[in-house]
Amino acid sequence: MISIIIPTLNEETILEKNLKNVKQITRFPMEIIVADSRSTDKTVEIAARYADKVVVYEKQDKPNAAKGRNLGAQNAQGEYLMFVDADVFRFNLEPDDFVAGLIREFEKDEKLLAATVNLLVSPGMENFWDRVILHIVNSLHYLNNNIFHTGSSSGEFQFIRRSAFEKLGGYNEILVASEDQDMFIRLAKLGKTKLIRSLSAYHTGRRPHKIGWPKLIYIWMKELAYYKFTKKSAAKEWTPIR
């Protein structure tokens, strides 16, 4: 079984497109879990119409992406955990074919513990700099996973064997940023990680479109450097962009 885990916080404008997309997966046993971080809009209401499970973060501390993903995983039953951000709403193939491509990679290599795919801004929403910068980012993930075997991945899409995820204890909840990179770096020390070049997932590009690529790249570089030397996040909070 595949457990599709979608962390949310006030995602009423895009979540339905995401859920309609993954609901088209019918060739494989799967469950959809929406892990919500106490949304104040109609996110939970929308999720309830499509998801198999909707779980809400109820602890008193402040939720973050790592905590949301872990909450979803704690309620999952699948052999594979497919983490998809709420604004990822289409793939480059039909959903069944997209998942089939993922499963093939894992079935032919038992040492493969996790995979990611090319991440792109959806056609019609993308601009020139989206294409250029995401080509560079995807190429870096390819090199880090497939060539250097050090692991790296953006958080919009990660597909992980549950056994490896549990062995690592899930995402590092101390990290409010770089938790996605941290996960793949740790997974690469256990086995193989991979970027599957034939597969792509499309998202809205809302963060670079809102704050601009120069500022976002600066934030990324700052966070990666801080993580490399301290294993902590530079930011105290990862500000949601909606």
Give 3's pLDDT tier (boundaries 50, 70, 90): very high
Residues 218, 21: Cα–Cα separation, whole Å:
32
Write the burial class of residue 179 (CB in 10 Å: 0-12 exposed, 13-18 middle, 19+ buried): buried
What's the CATH superfamily of 2-206? Spore Coat Polysaccharide Biosynthesis Protein SpsA; Chain A (3.90.550.10)
Instruction: Please say whether the beta carbons of 202 and 210 come within 8 A.
Output: no
Contacts of 182 (CB under 8 A, 6+ apart): 171, 172, 175, 227, 231
Q: Domains of the chain: which residue ranges?
A: 2-206
Give 237's pLDDT tier (boundaries 50, 70, 90): confident
The tokens describing 137, both together, are: 């980012």
Give 60's pLDDT tier (boundaries 50, 70, 90): confident
Identify the pLDDT of residue 112: 98
Identify the pLDDT of residue 11: 98
For residue 216, CA distances in Å to 69, 124, 126, 166 come to 23, 21, 16, 31
Identify the pLDDT of residue 153: 98
Identify the pLDDT of residue 173: 97
Secondary structure letter of residue 56 according to DSSP: E
**Predicted structure pTM score:** 0.96
Identify the pLDDT of residue 239: 87
202 phi and psi, to 5 degrees? -110, 135
Provide the strand spans (E) within 87-133: 88-91, 112-121
Contacts of 235 (CB under 8 A, 6+ apart): 176, 177, 219, 223
Q: For residue range 89-146, what is the model confidence (pLDDT) as tens digits?
A: 999 999 999 999 999 999 999 999 999 999 999 999 999 999 999 999 999 999 999 9
Identify the pLDDT of residue 116: 98
Tokens 């500000």 belong to residue = 239
Write the burial class of residue 50 (CB in 10 Å: 0-12 exposed, 13-18 middle, 19+ buried): middle
Could you count the other beta carbons within 10 Å of the beta carbon of residue 150?
A: 13
Identify the pLDDT of residue 215: 97
**Side-chain half-sphere CA neighbours of 192 within 13 A:** 13
Mean pLDDT, the chain, whole residue set: 97
Residues 79, 162: Cα–Cα separation, whole Å:
5
Could you count the other beta carbons within 10 Å of the beta carbon of residue 146?
A: 14
Mean pLDDT of 155-163: 98
Instruction: Please say whether the beta carbons of 167 and 190 come within 8 A.
Output: yes
Identify the pLDDT of residue 1: 97
Q: For residue range 182-222, what is the model confidence (pLDDT) as tens digits?
A: 999 999 999 999 999 999 999 999 999 999 999 999 999 99
Give 226's pLDDT tier (boundaries 50, 70, 90): very high
